Amino acid sequence: MLKNTQQLLDLMARLRRPRDGCAWDLKQDFSSLIPYVIEEAYEVVDAIERNDLDDLRSELGDLLLQVVFYSQIAEERGLFTFDQVSATIAEKLIRRHPHVFADAVFSSDEERHQAWEQAKAEERQEKNKAVEQKSVLSGVAGSLPALMECEKIQDRAAQHGFDWPDVPPVFDKVQEELDEVKEAWKSGDQAHIQEEIGDLLLVAVNLARHLNVNPELALKESTKKFSKRFHYIEREVEASGRSLRDCELEELDAFWHEAKVVLKKPKC
């Protein structure tokens, strides 16, 4: 295993060699690689969701390449090495699992979770000292997908007591925000409509948190469900020799409800 890792590191160093490396690889820097890191992470998720294990192995390799690529650039600049990256995460894992690597004993998953969050909070505190950040919200990456960023921000606030104690008030807040969207819509002020839609989405994420639902995954699954039902509509319309624009909305809606029934039926 170490031999293969070293081979990967050597290959990356060779690709970045100024005199005879790859022109494209030599042009890359921390910023230019950002889209590739994001793309590869999503492709790993896609392989998992499709349960394609061969593809998962390949996509994990592509994601690992991004770590190696960044580490090579950092080493060239005298910042850090791949070995230091590995050591940092190893230290972090040991620190965050005292019930495995030390004598800590937790009586429940909740206690384990609290200890994990406490360890992360202490790490953030140390990091914040270096960069003069005092907010408990510091350190949440602004480049995260909006739903994930929103959830993490709310989790941080909740850990410091800023949260509803139970679910019913959150349902009330969802209704309140929905009413405000309606009022904004009636006003015709597009900027105000956008603001209120944002507030509605934010409180929907809060509701998901209180119901122990991952909002990012929930929306992704609902989008997949929408796509499957829409594909059904397309097939039915195509079978009738028409296009979607040839059909009235009422007919398309009927196909939609039909899809909900047909696609739920178990396959024989």
Per residue of the chain (268 residues), give pLDDT as tens: 678 999 999 999 999 999 999 999 999 999 999 989 989 998 999 999 889 999 999 999 999 999 999 999 999 999 999 999 999 999 999 988 888 888 888 878 777 777 777 777 777 666 656 555 678 887 787 778 889 899 999 998 998 889 999 999 999 999 999 999 999 999 999 999 999 999 999 999 999 999 999 998 899 899 999 999 999 999 999 999 999 999 999 999 999 999 999 888 665 4
DSSP 107: S
Residue 194 token pair: 């956008």
- Long-range contacts of the stretch 187-191 (C-beta < 8 A, 24+): none
Q: What pLDDT is stored for residue 144 in this prediction?
A: 81
Q: What pLDDT is stored for residue 124 in this prediction?
A: 66
Q: What pLDDT is stored for residue 268 in this prediction?
A: 47
Q: Residue 260: what residue type?
A: K
Residue 147 token pair: 């739903």
Q: What pLDDT is stored for residue 82 in this prediction?
A: 96
What does the longest C-alpha to C-alpha distance in the chain come to? 70
Q: What pLDDT is stored for residue 105 in this prediction?
A: 81
Q: What pLDDT is stored for residue 128 in this prediction?
A: 59
Please state, in angstroms and rounded to a whole number, the distance separating the CA atoms of residues 59 and 129: 37
Please state, in angstroms and rounded to a whole number, the distance separating the CA atoms of residues 185 and 253: 25
- CATH number, span 146-213: 1.10.287.1080
Residue among 92, 144, 153 nearest 123 (CA): 92
Q: What pLDDT is stored for residue 266 in this prediction?
A: 62
Q: What pLDDT is stored for residue 106 in this prediction?
A: 81
Q: What pLDDT is stored for residue 215 in this prediction?
A: 92
Q: What pLDDT is stored for residue 85 in this prediction?
A: 96
Q: What pLDDT is stored for residue 191 in this prediction?
A: 95
Fold (topology level) of 2-102: Helix Hairpins (1.10.287)
Q: pTM for the complete prediction?
A: 0.63
Q: What pLDDT is stored for residue 129 in this prediction?
A: 61
Residue 50 token pair: 């499709």
